[in-house]
């Protein structure tokens, strides 16, 4: 059995953090740690997190890093470097796991020791344009991000071997990371496991990359050029 480390960056996230945390605490697979990387919230984010874990008598599963950060990529990296699980997943503070079986499915996918990462479908909530279940595109990196990054779980050694998230990217750090794998390990997709069926993550529309769409697209282009994928 492999331990799963879940990283949640927060910044004044009291409106959504309870649902995020409860979706973790109630997982049937309990070999996990939850690392909250908080950018000095001035609301009740941290108090609520600590109280929830105490209410479920699972305080030992919670780690909190509360200090200024240099952006989302920096928060991701702090959490990963603090983690001690063999598997790492990132769960944003306004997302939550779709049901209580997600971590068990993830753990099962890594029973094959040749697997580097697993991923699956998301339930995307969009009150403006409509909600839907989105499978991964599995397209060429030149078209779009092939995977639903909120559903991706990596073996921690992949970050250690190929580098962490690039802090020069404020919105498209996930895209840059996948570009890096595409460049350095041409067959890396064969080392991924798609968890078909029910979505893994319930994701709300919005977030930094959505609110800064133009800046995000500029960074996507920069990553494609950096790795010679821009035509």
Which domains are present in the chain?
4-168+186-205 (3.90.550.10)
Q: What is the pLDDT of residues 174-212, one digit of tens each?
A: 999 999 999 999 999 999 999 999 999 999 876 555 567
In this predicted model, which residue has the larger pLDDT, 214 or 152? 152
Predicted pLDDT at 211: 61
Mean pLDDT for the stretch of residues 88-109: 98
pLDDT of residue 207: 56
**Taking residues 167-178, what's their average pLDDT?**
97
What one-character-per-residue DSSP string does the chain give? ---EEEEEEESS-TTTHHHHHHHHHT-S---EEEEEEE---SSSHHHHHHHHHHHTT-GGGEEEEES--SSHHHHHHHHHHH---SEEEE--TT-EESSTTHHHHHHHHTTSTT--EEEE-EEEE-TTT--EEE------TTTS-SS-GGG-EEEHHHHHHH----TT-SS-HHHHHHHHHHHH-TTGGGGEEEE-SS-SEEEES-SHHHHTHHHHHHHHHHHHHHTT---
Is residue 149 scored above 90 in pLDDT? Answer: yes
Per-residue confidence (pLDDT) for residue 130, from 0 to 100: 83
Confidence of residue 79 (pLDDT cuts 50, 70, 90): very high
In the chain, pLDDT over 70 holds for what percent of residues?
97
pLDDT for the residue numbered 129:
80
Q: What integer best gives the mean pLDDT of the chain? A: 95
pLDDT of 227 higher than 60: yes
Give residue 212's pLDDT: 77
Q: Residue 34: pLDDT above 80?
A: yes
Per-residue pLDDT of 56-65, as tens digits, reads: 999 999 999 9
Q: Could you tell me what percent of the chain has a pLDDT over 90?
A: 92
**pLDDT reported for residue 169:** 97
Give me the mean pLDDT over the 66-82 stretch. 97
What is the pLDDT, as a whole number, of residue 204?
Answer: 85
Mean pLDDT of 17-22: 98
């Amino acid at each position: 059995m492999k331990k799963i480390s879940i990283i949640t960056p927060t910044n004044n996230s009291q409106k959504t953090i309870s649902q995020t945390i409860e979706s973790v605490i109630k997982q049937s697979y309990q070999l996990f740690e939850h690392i909250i990387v908080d950018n000095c919230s001035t609301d009740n984010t941290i108090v609520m997190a600590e109280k929830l874990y105490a209410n479920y008598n699972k305080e030992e599963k919670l780690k909190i890093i509360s200090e200024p950060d240099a952006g989302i990529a920096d928060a991701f990296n702090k959490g990963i470097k603090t983690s001690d699980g063999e598997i790492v997943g990132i769960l944003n503070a306004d997302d939550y796991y779709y049901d209580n079986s997600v971590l068990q499915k993830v753990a099962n996918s890594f029973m094959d020791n040749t697997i580097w990462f697993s991923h699956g479908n998301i339930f995307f909530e969009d009150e403006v344009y409509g909600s839907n279940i989105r499978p991964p595109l599995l397209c060429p990196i030149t078209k779009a991000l092939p995977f639903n990054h909120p559903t991706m779980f990596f073996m921690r050694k992949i970050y250690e071997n190929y580098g962490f998230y690039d802090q020069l990217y404020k919105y498209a750090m996930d895209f840059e990371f996948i570009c890096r794998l595409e460049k350095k390990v041409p067959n890396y997709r064969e080392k991924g496991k798609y968890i078909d069926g029910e979505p893994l993550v319930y994701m709300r529309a919005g977030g930094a990359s959505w609110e800064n769409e133009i800046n995000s697209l500029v960074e996507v282009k920069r990553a494609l050029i950096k790795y010679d994928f821009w035509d």
